[in-house]
Amino acid sequence: MPYLQDPARAQRHKRKRRNRGKTSSKAPKVQAQTTRVPTQESPRVAEVPTPTPVWVLALEQTGPSTGDQPGISATPSTLPAAPSPSAARTRAWSQRSEYDFTASLRLPFVAGLDPVGASTEASGIPVHGRIQLHDALATFWRSANEQHGNFLEHYIIAGSLEDVRECRHGEEHYGLIREKDTKRTMTSTSPVLRRVSATTIKPPPHPRTRLHLGPWDLSMLTAQYIQKGLLFRKPCHLTIADLIDGLKTSLSVALLHFYPLAGRFLSEPALDEQGNPTGLFVSIDCAGQGAEFVHVVAEGVTVADVLALDGDVPSYVNAFFPLDGAANYDAVVVPLLAVQVTELDDGVFLGCCFNHAVGDGTSYWQFFNAWAEIARSGEGEEAKLARPPVHDRWFVNGSVQPPIKLPFVRPEEFIERFKPPIYRERIFHLTADSIARLKAKANKESGLASTISSFQSVSGMLWRCITRARGLPSEQSTRCRLAAQNRGRLIPPLSPDYFGNSIYAIATETTAGELLAHDLGWAARLAHEAVTGLTDAAIQGVVAKWMAAPVAHRVSMFDRFSVMMGSSPRFDVYGCEFGWGRTVAARSGTAHKFDGKVTFYPGSEGGGSMDLEICLEPPFMAALEADVEFMSAVSSPPPAPDAETKAEACNRKQNNGY
């Protein structure tokens, strides 16, 4: 256990044990062994007169080989009486850390996920799905408070439980078990998500088909779902019930056009002549099984809380997305698409989990915009899309015939459950003027006239600044990776409405010393040359190499000295108009996040502005926030638009037809 192996920590632990009975001006703190995002910029607890006893819930997730039964080892009805401050403490389940009181909750293991679809009883509390699990834990805490006094200082919120192993008294922490929100009052606790309903949305009846996956699709099977969502002000002219009904109806119609998303993966063994398995075939069974639709209420959370313009993205935003931690291959049993509507005090967050083996970011936003288009039209099944999706899969100019066999007998051979290190996540804004200055500087310094794009200029700046923030040795190799779209690079080109995966992560490499010794133009030129080198011939060569030895791309392949530029500022994020008013902001879940990941969004004010979602380990983020080159380029985001008035909603409907 790292806590006891670290001599300095062990010494602090001994001092805290000796001082247990003494008065302190600090509230107790808890460390959670987890790989989630820090909940706040500074996870300190406000001062209180005397530390009070704390119940700590140690979470375990049982594996299929352990035979352990789910349950709570100390239920609310059997909790010991609240002791005096001098009373003996009970030992933690780990037998290596000391708590005031301890309870252990065991959860069923389902394909390495949170207990989605699992059903069990834990001290009389039904646990069926991730959000209901949160409800169960909230009930547990409330019951303990009622029996033993209102002394609980910690609350369970969101995220995957498989990473939680130990919860220690007296240490700072990040993750699922969090201290009181430092930006709220001492009487405030972390927000609780209450699930209102869960529904399976199916498309209107249509013929059952099977869709084979192409090379780019199959390479994504071990990756996680795309988790992106949009924040809206709560409309004044609609009740939440009407809003939910409208979303369900329009989603059903959208699934008629995007029918693969309503299906499930079909995994079949490839057999030799003797009947022995030699590999796997994975396809989409388009039988209209349906998408998951969840309605959740986040009590006490406002639009301003989610925006967090002055600090890190709140960790509870991760709970606005279902299927957290799911790998794409898990869609053999879980939906390919899951939607969650999270009702805020003054807003609505619409989060989508979209299987990345079905489509890439271009396909994701194509679907999201089409869904909004259908919702605006109000025409139901008669709605016609301005840009219908193209579902025919690309197979290397016809030289490869589906289905493609994967050289794996069991899913465990290629499925990875990635656990990133602790990181901070923050949104930085780039105005159109700032980007124009970066682009002009990059082109002038590179000597390439005006060929370096805005994206390449910003990527070069980020690569330099993050490398400097990490303090890498000068001889350390570092890469800048960029997710490049292939649709228009192929000969003949694919339709821009091609619904599937057509991306490739290109890279350019140098040493940290070389990168920082040169200027912005030099770094941006490296990124530019990597992009221009992705020709039709290069793409064909990459696919041919993959076909010779198919692999599933894993996040763990990304080295910790590099940066990864994902998504695109060209995606039509703010065109997703459902008839409630304009999008306020875009946010994402935990999927595909790690130290060095940068996600690009268009800025809310348009005009070529950008928002950068940057994930870095805490010390590196602190160094980036102090980097002169970086901070001189970024600025505060513009203020979010106010909620639409009824008069404005009527005018919009009269002028735009929705």
For the chain, domains (ranges, CATH) are 2-189 (no CATH), 195-414 (3.30.559.10), 424-633 (3.30.559.10)
Closest CA to 261 of 188, 201, 210, 336: 336
- pLDDT band for position 324 (50/70/90)? confident
Measured over the CA atoms of residue 105, residue 110, residue 113 and residue 118, the dihedral's sign is: negative
Residue 444: strand, helix, or coil: helix
Alpha carbon 589 to chain centroid, angstroms:
2
User: Which residue reads 């192996």 in tokens?
Assistant: 5
DSSP 519: -
Of the chain, the percentage scoring pLDDT greater than 90 comes to 57
Mean pLDDT value across the chain = 76
How would you class 31 by CB atoms within 10 Å of its CB: exposed for 0-12, middle for 13-18, buried for 19 or more? buried
Does residue 645 register a pLDDT over 70? no
Cβ proximity of 592 and 566 under 8 Å: yes
pLDDT at 640: 74
Q: What is the mean pLDDT of residues 200-216?
A: 94
Does residue 506 register a pLDDT over 90? yes
For residue 245, give the H/E element and its range. Answer: helix 240-257
Does residue 36 register a pLDDT over 60? no
142 vs 105: which has the higher pLDDT: 142
Between the CA of residue 15 and those of 21, 52, 171, what are the distances in Å?
12, 18, 13
- pLDDT band for position 216 (50/70/90)? very high
536 vs 128: which has the higher pLDDT: 536
Q: Say which range, 258-267, 296-305, 492-501, 643-652, has the weakest mean pLDDT.
A: 643-652
pLDDT at 23: 40
pLDDT at 655: 57
- pLDDT band for position 22 (50/70/90)? very low
Q: What is the mean pLDDT of residues 500-506?
A: 95
Cβ proximity of 197 and 330 under 8 Å: no
| Model pTM score | 0.72
Q: What is the pLDDT of residues 282-309, one digit of tens each?
A: 999 999 999 999 999 999 999 999 999 8
Residue type, 620: F
Does residue 107 register a pLDDT over 70? no
pLDDT at 325: 87
Q: Say which range, 126-135, 341-350, 476-485, has the weakest mean pLDDT.
A: 126-135
Q: ∠ at Cα 378 (376, 381), nearest 5°?
A: 120
Q: What is the mean pLDDT of residues 580-608?
A: 95
Q: What is the mean pLDDT of residues 272-278?
A: 92
pLDDT at 221: 95
Measured over the CA atoms of residue 323, residue 325, residue 329 and residue 332, the dihedral's sign is: negative
12 vs 248: which has the higher pLDDT: 248
Q: What is the pLDDT of residues 402-455, one digit of tens each?
A: 899 999 998 888 888 877 778 999 999 999 999 999 999 999 999 887 699 999
Q: ∠ at Cα 638 (633, 641), nearest 5°?
A: 160
Between the CA of residue 351 and those of 134, 339, 348, 375, 389, what are the distances in Å?
18, 6, 10, 16, 21
Structure tokens at 343: 């009702």
C-alpha–C-alpha distance, residues 651 and 643, integer Å: 14
DSSP 625: H
Q: What is the mean pLDDT of residues 610-624?
A: 96
Bridge-based pairing state of the strands 563-567 and 597-602: parallel
Does residue 337 register a pLDDT over 70? yes
Bridge-based pairing state of the strands 277-286 and 264-271: antiparallel
pLDDT at 412: 86
Q: Say which range, 161-170, 369-378, 405-414, 483-492, has the weakest mean pLDDT.
A: 161-170
pLDDT at 482: 96
- pLDDT band for position 651 (50/70/90)? low
Cβ proximity of 297 and 343 under 8 Å: yes
Q: Say which range, 148-152, 272-276, 444-448, 473-477, has the weakest mean pLDDT.
A: 148-152
pLDDT at 190: 63
HEC assignment per residue over 399-438: CCCCCCCECCCCHHHCCCCCCCCCCEEEEEEECHHHHHHH
Does residue 316 register a pLDDT over 60? yes
C-alpha–C-alpha distance, residues 166 and 164, integer Å: 6
Q: Say which range, 171-185, 219-233, 300-314, has the weakest mean pLDDT.
A: 171-185
- pLDDT band for position 594 (50/70/90)? very high
Does residue 152 register a pLDDT over 60? no
pLDDT at 644: 58
